């Protein structure tokens, strides 16, 4: 199986030993505590799950700047984005110089302890440093960009140091059939006997074009299996909730994929909408979960018009340090149903087609149809999937 990034073995930060886990839970109740931001909580879940292996905890400002500017930490380790625990001056003042603290979950009622942290540094992040990290990671300073707004809205004090993770926030309980750690996915890949595995990222239900893209990638790469890996964390307003996406994708796999050819899984992270840089992060943790290949299509992890259509592919050629990752990228163009060929094709592979030769529907049009109880054409969406989405949209009326 493919090795994790930067290490011979996965290094999840979740405390699996039951005695140690219980001892930490008891200790945490005696420690000074801080309430995490949603981003910092998601970072803890990803480190606990092994997806961000081999990071030992939250980055110092120097490491975060290195990740932002050249994807390299001060010790030479590759990592494509800052992984920080940022907060306000009021919270820092309340910690009174504590060296060991309990980190509380902002996304679960009662704010239970998510992790215990050894505080090695508390640093104030300058406006210039925030501006640099924002520019390098998001490629824009526009406060209307949802990722920029979230990153810059956390406070200006960074707490760094190693963490021990005690739970996976709301993800394990709310999505028991879908949430999986990198450890669990690696184990299941091994149990299924898969050697060559392609991963597909989604934050939306999968239309026919997405389904066929996965089949194309599996066929062309000669893969044993596909891991459909959906984001279960916070999205932007208007995105379809995770339980609905989950149901739609599971129905598609049940009906249209061969047995033992596809896994439906999810991970606990808030979407950054950072386009190219987030594509690199997605590849990073897909290697850690055992995938040998990863599909990246047009405007991967983008939002609005902030990124070029293929920036998320070219970044692997132009900016990712050589040899940083072993996972290979399957580069996809927009896929759509060809009226001429009577099948789904990559648009770049149909040079004799005009726009009107494809079945293309805008997201707005599709939402309007579903809200009115009308299934999109079969060339766009599987009827079983469309029905699940119709039920959801009609429930909003």
The 3-state DSSP class for residue 100 equals strand
> H helices within 13-159, ranges in order?
18-28, 38-49, 61-70, 89-95, 127-138, 146-152
CB 267 within 8 A of CB 231: yes
Task: Write phi, then psi, for 225 (nearest 5 degrees).
Answer: -155, 165
Residues with a known catalytic role = 203-204
Nearest in space to 98 (alpha carbons), one of 24, 161, 32:
32
Q: Which helix (H) or strand (E) holds 87?
A: strand 86-87
**Residue whose token pair is 């060991």:** 100
Q: CA–CA distance from 240 to each of 32, 186, 332, 389, 390 (Å)?
A: 37, 28, 24, 9, 12
Q: At what angle do helices 276-288 and 311-318 cross, to 10 degrees?
A: 70
């Amino acid at each position: 199986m493919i090795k994790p990034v930067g290490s011979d073995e996965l290094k999840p930060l979740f405390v699996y030993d039951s005695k140690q886990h219980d001892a930490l839970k008891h200790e945490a109740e005696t420690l000074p505590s801080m309430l995490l931001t949603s981003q910092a909580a998601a970072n803890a879940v990803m480190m606990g799950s092994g997806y961000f292996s081999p990071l030992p905890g939250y980055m110092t400002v120097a490491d975060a700047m290195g990740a932002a500017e050249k994807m390299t930490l001060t010790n030479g380790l590759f990592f494509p984005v800052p992984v920080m625990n940022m907060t306000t001056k009021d919270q820092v003042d309340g910690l009174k110089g504590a060296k060991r603290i309990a980190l509380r979950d902002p996304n679960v009622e009662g704010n239970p302890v998510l992790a215990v942290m050894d505080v090695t540094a508390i640093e104030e992040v300058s406006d210039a440093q925030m501006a640099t990290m924002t520019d390098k990671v998001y490629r824009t300073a526009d406060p209307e960009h949802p990722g920029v707004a979230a990153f810059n809205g956390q406070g200006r004090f960074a707490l760094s140091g190693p963490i021990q993770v005690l739970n996976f926030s709301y993800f394990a309980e709310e999505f028991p059939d879908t949430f999986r750690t990198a450890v669990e996915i690696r184990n299941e890949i091994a149990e299924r006997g898969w050697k060559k595995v392609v991963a597909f990222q989604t934050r939306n239900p999968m239309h026919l074009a997405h389904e066929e893209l996965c089949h194309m990638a599996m066929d062309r790469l000669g893969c044993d299996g596909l891991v459909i890996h959906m984001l279960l964390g916070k999205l932007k307003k208007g995105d379809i909730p995770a339980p609905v996406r989950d149901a739609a994708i599971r129905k598609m796999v049940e009906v249209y994929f061969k047995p033992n050819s596809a896994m439906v899984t999810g991970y606990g992270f808030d979407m950054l909408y950072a386009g190219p840089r987030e594509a690199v992060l997605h590849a990073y943790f897909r290697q850690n979960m055992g995938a040998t290949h990863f599909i990246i299509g047009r405007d991967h992890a983008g939002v609005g018009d902030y990124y070029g259509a293929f920036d998320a592919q070219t970044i692997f050629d132009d900016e990712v340090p050589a040899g940083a990752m072993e996972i290979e990228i399957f580069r996809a163009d927009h896929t759509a149903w060809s009226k001429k060929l009577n099948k789904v094709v990559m648009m770049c592979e149909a040079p004799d087609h005009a726009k009107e030769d494809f079945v293309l529907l805008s997201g707005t049009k599709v939402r309007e149809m579903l809200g009115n109880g009308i299934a999109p054409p079969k060339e766009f969406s599987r009827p079983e999937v469309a029905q699940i989405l119709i039920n959801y949209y009609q429930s909003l009326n």
